[in-house]
Chain A
């Protein structure tokens, strides 16, 4: 093949790739946007943790945040349920919208926001109460007193979290007596009982053994049908297995964001490629 021909082929391939990417972006657009972050800057005192990030997340999808420790992914995640508000010296610029509504406006009811945007933490953190009380907690603090309704919601949530069969006979047992994996599924059930539409997960399997991890991943896959899930993970395989979209963070910047398949097979940036292939981080 002549050199010119090669160049033509390369150009065509390039164009096809580009159109595929715009196609992907179109698909992103086509789904309803659940979460939208624009021009986000976050500071802890004088330290800038997030540098001008924009991102859209469609509903009923799983978005994975990856990147080396300290890259700002957890900080970014915690913006969506305003959990950074309690951190000393925290300040931010930019807008975050949930269903098109700004969540950093003055008069927002933060408690209502957190019922809509649930969160699962890195270390399983059940309350030192019974299994039942753990799941019922969110309902009780909302002032729901109807015992039948609470019992029904607890059962549904435990079934959704794939824990019901294991605990249905001793709901009164202390949650602290469960294994780590069970505790984490209990924390997921507890979040589901409040009926949020978004679930934020901050490295939910990093403290668990491989079998428990597999169970949680399967669970995330099922939950995607009803919920929008954003998950921070240090595990590349996990990100590629469970997420639809992946965002790669580095030093407070969003380096790359797109379909997980694209990111893992054909990353646009060298940094992304180096990170996912394990060359750094």
Chain B
């Protein structure tokens, strides 16, 4: 009797412990978001979204930083998506089991763990200096693309691996080439997963500050980029800049910009979840 009571007591204790652990993260996040929203929500209006940066906090807007973020996002996606997916297809479908393949695999996992500032230094040397792109949108996008490539490759490989081999065999047995099989069967079946991976990787890129500061992205740009070769700023840099100023008005601006950045990230994650669910519904093996 007492033994089973003791066991039940432990069971309950663990449940309470588990719930508190879960709640710590959630509560802290809620406090943070609540605080930011309280500080910043009144600052968000049309003029904040459409104004250029200014020395006066009440006149300053986040337009250039927002547009910079959009430019960076689009260019990073265009660069990283095809390279990452192609690399994953190679590793998953073409590369034979060999030392070289093993080495590649280990290195890709390692790359995912390299601090982002190192990517910034790489981008500074290769894109800004050697390729002479300057502190442009293109240089920033290439740098961030490098940063998120490992994430895209890993996510893509996982969703390719989830496609049952029976489908691939069926396609090959009907006289399809390897590429036809990949294009017609493997990729469509894994596309939801690939897209999810790409979006999650991009939502990480949206928040990156360090590598962009290293390559020379500016906190103050008086115009939104119009071509990929223009200089740019992004929301996190703008937030960093505003938050480090003494005036209370800028702190409010920073909070408002954080809200915008959070909304962008949540929307992107939402889209990722939507695609994953739709894909899972469609693909019932």
Contact = CB atoms under 8 A, between A and B. Distances in A.
Contacts of B105: none
A114 interface: yes
Interface in A105-139: 111-112, 114-115, 118-119, 121, 123, 125-128, 137-138
B173 A118 contact: yes
B251 interface: no
A125 B167 contact: yes
Q: What is the size category of the interface that chain A forms with chain B?
A: 20 to 34
Contacts of B282: 128
Given A88-B97, A141-B184, A114 B166 contact: no
- The majority secondary structure among interface residues of chain B is helix
Given A88-B97, A141-B184, A176-B284, A125 B169 contact: yes
A71 to B, nearest CB: 21
Contact of A141 (B97, B180, B284): B180
Interface in B241-285: 282-285
Contacts of A59: none
B188 to A, nearest CB: 8
Interface in A35-90: 81, 83, 86, 88
B181 to A, nearest CB: 9
Interface string B145-185: 00000000000000000001011011111111100100011
B171 A142 contact: no
Contacts of B176: 111, 137-138, 141
Contact of B177 (A83, A111, A119, A125): A111
A176 B167 CA distance: 12
Interface residues of B, number: 22
A161 interface: no
Nearest to A85: B172
A125 B174 contact: no
A232 to B, nearest CB: 14
Contacts of B189: 128
Nearest to A177: B284
Given A88-B97, A125-B166, A114 B173 contact: yes
A176 B188 CA distance: 15
A123 B165 CA distance: 12
Given A141-B176, A141-B184, A127 B284 contact: no
Tell which of B175, B176, B188 has the most Cβ of chain A within 10 Å. B175
A191 B175 CA distance: 10
A141 B170 CA distance: 13
B174 A190 contact: yes
A176 B189 CA distance: 13
B173 A83 contact: yes
Given A142-B175, A190-B174, A83 B167 contact: no
A276 interface: no
Contacts of A123: 166
B175 A127 contact: no
B169 A194 contact: no
Given A128-B189, A128-B283, A138 B167 contact: no
Nearest to A190: B174
A88 B95 CA distance: 12
B169 A127 contact: no
Given A127-B185, A176-B284, A83 B169 contact: yes
Given A114-B172, A114-B174, A142-B175, 9 more contacts: A81-B173, A88-B97, A111-B176, A118-B173, A125-B166, A141-B171, A141-B174, A141-B175, A141-B184
Shortest 10 CB-CB contacts between residues of A and residues of B: A125-B166, A115-B175, A119-B173, A114-B175, A138-B174, A111-B175, A141-B176, A125-B170, A141-B180, A128-B283
6 contacts: A81-B173, A121-B166, A123-B166, A137-B171, A141-B177, A190-B170
Interface of A: 81, 83, 86, 88, 111-112, 114-115, 118-119, 121, 123, 125-128, 137-138, 141-142, 176, 187, 190-191, 194
